[in-house]
Structure 1
Amino acid sequence: MTEWWRGGVIYQVYPRSFQDSNGDGVGDLPGIIARLDHIASLGVDCIWLSPITKSPQADMGYDVSDYCEIDPLFGSLEDFDTLVKQAHARGLKVIMDQVVSHTSDHHAWFQESRVSRTNARADWYVWADPLPDGSPPNNWPAVFGGSVWEWNGTRGQYYLHNFLTSQPDLNFHNPAVQDAVLDVMRFWLERGIDGFRLDTVNYYFHDEQLRSNPADPDFRHGPHSASPYEMQIHEFSKSQPENLGFLRRVRALLDQFPGATSVGEVGDSHRSVELMAQYTAGGDTLHMCYGFDFLGPQFTAAHFRSRIETFFEIGPDSWPCWSFSNHDVPRHVSRWAEHARSLPDLAHQTAALVLSLKGSVCLYQGEELGLTETDLLFEELTDPRGIRFWPEDKGRDGCRTPMPWDQGLPPNGFTTGKPWLPLKPEQSALNVAGQNADDGSTLAFFRTILAWRKNHPTLALGDITFCDTPEPVLAFRRSSGNDAMLCVFNLSADDHTVAMTGLHDGTSLEPVSERAVLSHDSLQLGANGFAFIALDSSSTATLGGLA
């Protein structure tokens, strides 16, 4: 079977916010089924479902209480089976979140583990004795604030939780835990799923000696420091070398199901690209990984180039999955707005950019509409991170608000009830129905460029070589065999002209280019303009400085 995932485009569905079918204000599996034609119309290859398994929803499903049951909030196992079948009928693969670094404290495994130090699952979680003065065993902070250590009086020990206190970490140093996790994955693979997105994939193992993390010497304290988590280098609390052995076990399981794939989420600000490359090297680990390098505020040619070049230098045979937005970060059209004259122009340009990088691509629901971050009031928040760190960190609710489907007033066809998060006028105006009727819309552009990309395999699988262009111009050549494509992006709100040499007579811009004019010796790019120029392998066309 062909490696469909290599260079494939994955569309992330956040089920709570995609489509509600029963009027309770929360999206569900029947709702996703009803909107599959929209996803298929985009021209993507695969759907990624954010968590749908049983959960008390303390962290919106990323706290699992039963790995093999669908949460009633979203439907049933029968609904899941129908969704997979209907997606496959439309040529779409389906992968699902596997949140296995931790469980909910409601999970039966933890309920047993917490009772005593001698029960059958006593060491399925990370337990540690207090220091002589009663304090936690080390200085590790939790991502969502406070210590990673929570006291349990029954055992007289602390347990580890990297996120909420209600999300205890599994102990992957125990082979029985690894076996149980692999059994969960097998359950879903046998049910027809096409693979997994592995949440917090570098958090599986901790340092068995529980050594304290060092301070980050580059951290700069200020009046708006959101969390102590940022003040450490997480040398011992995550990203341990033992991880690779377990990832090879995951790959061995996936290889038993032809076509099944994996996408690992790497959360490590100091080693992100290194770990992405390491975790996908050799053909016996994960298929793809993504990090947070392109999910932050940086929007410069130097940043994009350095991260991509570094990745392939570390892992020439490794494979990335690039994304600009997801359910954990502010939407990129808002995040990078200061670099744009027009937000729709920025939405077009960033789509063109991510879809022309070497690697696979993940698009987040609503990205095809150019959705912006929703500005929420404190009393509208549901995200525990936002509630705890407000107002310096407003959390993740702003990127999770419901999809606007129909024209008119909110909730725009998402639900007949009250949506779990509000739809607001700025997002409502970008609804699917209105954009379907507009040939110049962001939605129309996404369909056009995805179809165009499928006709140019060089963009999915070819090599990438960067050109030495000055800021704010990013330029690179994608090449495969006798085909090549020159890709040029003006990452600014100002007009720029770039000198060009070596163009053959008759060379022209590809039709998906926008705000670009090509002449024999220059390329003019308007604000957030971009150009694609098809070349043959013998072409010596190069870009120079800004004119």
Structure 2
Amino acid sequence: MATAIAADAATAASPLAWWRGAVIYQIYPRSFRDTNGDGIGDLAGIAEGLDYIAGLGVDGIWISPFFTSPMKDFGYDVADYCGIDPSFGTFADFDRVVEKAHALGLKVIIDQVYSHTSDEHAWFKESRQDRTNPKADWYVWADPKPDGSPPSNWQSVFGGSAWQWDGPRKQYYLHNFLTSQPDLNVHNRDVQDALLDVARFWLARGVDGFRLDALNFSMHDPDLRDNPPSGLPMELVTRPFDMQVKRYNQSHPDIVAFLERIRQTLDEFPGRFTVAEVGGPEPLAEMKAFTEGGKRLDSAYNFDFLYAPRLTAPLVRASLQQWSGEDGEGWPSWAFSNHDAPRAVTRWTLDGDMARASRLNLLLLLSLRGNPIIYQGEELGLPQGEVAFEDLQDPEAIANWPHTLGRDGARTPMPWQAGAPQAGFSNANRTWLKLDPVHTGFAVDRQAADPASTLAYAQRLLAARREHPALAIGGITLLDSPADILAFLREDEQGRVLCVFNLGEAPGDWSPPAGLGPLALIATESHVGPGAVPEALAPGTGYWARVAGG
């Protein structure tokens, strides 16, 4: 039996909207390319790398924060929303990135961090002076309990209480992340107005959309009620944050009204795109609410795979079934790796064949209904970097060592030239994070010269996807299959593509449904182009095949 879970790509917006089904390439600017020799990637380096990115065949780029920041959380602690940190360059550099990207046919998406700022932001400096200044209520301040303890039991993501005592105010302020990242009071209309002005600033500068970071942390329960315990077994706990159900320090229902204001602002600049980052153990309801009805955001960034220790067919089926394509539903975005999560190929390679696993991951990611997001280096098959404790930079990795892989291993420098110092990332003697020597073997120049490389495969696969629009904007129908086999059809008016994957550890026996029609091979995890459709699937293999006449 086949199950149509999304039969029509047209929901809240026209199926011709540029972002619908677009492939986005995420750039972590500190680690992408350094042009001034300080060991830190910069905007000029992004401009230099745009030809390479365009050559992959993607549709746009997402640039992680480059705003003025003390870099305690490497840009996600913003000290000036409308400034560029000198370590990344100047506005002239940024304008060059936008201009060149657009000339190459690439859209430009940037992060917006509306949940919190740096404690060095001018807004916070004014807010903490006293309880009567014009920005006194721009952050989340609260009196201590009678015994001097914090106002609630809320825990921060990075460990310890989410409340920090502040001497000048004689109050606690809320910080869901580092103590140096005070939470904005987004319930305050003036704060919302200021953030919307920030959005207009960057939209007027030519950006094509925003990824909205930590969006479900942007509003709290004004009554400051305690969170209930999660009941998580202690062997699964890595930080106190895990031990609570985050019922009151995030996910307030009033967030959606703010999102409608964001949408109204974006509508002043037609053709722009918004995607929400919504984390947590059960984010689906918020993802749906944040993208509902065509009057909020366009898409939500799916976390189903980012921390999954295994890639399984049941996991993918369950994720796909969450997005039915019904009227008014938003559009999903998918990522297997990013700057916050250990690289997927390291998490999911079972038999040591990382090249095959990398290609299978790309084949699957690019077949899902939604927007695939490729993290820099994923097209090279780059594994998680090894970073010694003494070289760690990430505060979360340091706090949780050695119980998690941390984030630094996913942020090590991009290898460009195998024979160059620092693999061509920088001519500095020392880079902000050390290059993993293993990554030199994955360098862009080495793979560009090898038609059998993962990079060459990624380029051919993206080209094949463009030739079959059903893979980008078509509906999706899940087909009956054994537990470890994932099979579905992508279909639009121009044709149908069968996508099949064996995500188990044993050979798979599955045949396409009788009556489906002749199949023409498009790609496997090792090959892009015509050939015979596999009759049996070895573990960790898959294929795309065009259905003749469909």
TM over 0.5: yes
Give the match for residue 64 of structure 1. Answer: 78
Q: CA deviation at 1:52?
A: 0.4
The correspondence for 2:155, drawn from 128, 131, 141, is: 141
Give the match for residue 404 of structure 1. Answer: 415
Give the match for residue 542 of structure 1. Answer: none
Given that residues 25 and 374 in structure 2 are in contact (C-alpha distance below 8 angstroms), is that contact kept between their aligned partners in structure 1? Answer: yes
Give the match for residue 545 of structure 1. Answer: none
TM-score w.r.t. structure 1 length?
A: 0.94
Q: CA deviation at 1:493?
A: 4.5
Name the SS for the 2:423 alignment partner: coil
Give the match for residue 9 of structure 2. Answer: none
Distance 2:424 2:349 in 1: 28
The correspondence for 2:538, drawn from 526, 538, 541, is: 526
One-letter code aligned to 2:241: Y
The correspondence for 2:400, drawn from 389, 392, 408, is: 389
CA 504–111 in structure 1, closer or farther in 2 if over 3 Å, else same: closer
Name the SS for the 1:67 alignment partner: strand
Give the match for residue 102 of structure 2. Answer: 88
Structure ranking higher on relative contact order (CA contacts 8 Å, 6+ apart): 2
Q: CA deviation at 1:426?
A: 1.6
The correspondence for 1:189, drawn from 189, 192, 203, is: 203
2:508 is equivalent to residue 496 of structure 1: yes
Give the match for residue 460 of structure 2. Answer: 448
The correspondence for 1:209, drawn from 223, 240, 258, is: 223
Distance 1:110 1:397 in 2: 28
Q: CA deviation at 1:233?
A: 1.1
Q: CA deviation at 1:498?
A: 1.6
Give the match for residue 543 of structure 1. Answer: none
One-letter code aligned to 1:4: W
Distance 2:327 2:213 in 1: 22
How many residues of Structure 1 are paired with residues of Structure 2 in the alignment? 533
What whole-Å deviation, never above 9, does each CA across 1:158-206 have from its counterpart, x for those lacking one? Answer: 0000000000000011000000000001001111111111100111110
Given that residues 217 and 250 in structure 2 are in contact (C-alpha distance below 8 angstroms), is that contact kept between their aligned partners in structure 1? Answer: yes
Give the match for residue 40 of structure 1. Answer: 54
Name the SS for the 1:499 alignment partner: coil
Unaligned runs of 5+ in 2: 1-13
- Kindly, what percent of the aligned residue pairs are identical? 50
Q: Structure 2 matches for 1:119-518, cutoff 5 A?
A: 119-217=133-231, 219-222=232-235, 225-270=237-282, 272-296=283-307, 297-312=309-324, 317-338=329-350, 340-408=351-419, 410-417=421-428, 418-481=430-493, 483-502=495-514, 506-512=518-524, 514=526
Q: CA deviation at 1:274?
A: 2.0
Give the match for residue 10 of structure 2. Answer: none
TM-align CA RMSD: 2.0
One-letter code aligned to 2:297: L
Give the match for residue 106 of structure 1. Answer: 120
TM-score w.r.t. structure 2 length?
A: 0.93
One-letter code aligned to 2:176: N
One-letter code aligned to 2:181: Q
CA 209–431 in structure 1, closer or farther in 2 if over 3 Å, else same: same
What whole-Å deviation, never above 9, does each CA across 1:86-116 have from its counterpart, x for those lacking one? Answer: 1111111111111121000000000000010
Unaligned runs of 5+ in 1: 539-547
CA 171–537 in structure 1, closer or farther in 2 if over 3 Å, else same: farther
One-letter code aligned to 1:7: G
Q: CA deviation at 1:376?
A: 1.1
CA 212–315 in structure 1, closer or farther in 2 if over 3 Å, else same: farther
CA 188–313 in structure 1, closer or farther in 2 if over 3 Å, else same: closer
Q: CA deviation at 1:228?
A: 1.2
One-letter code aligned to 1:351: L
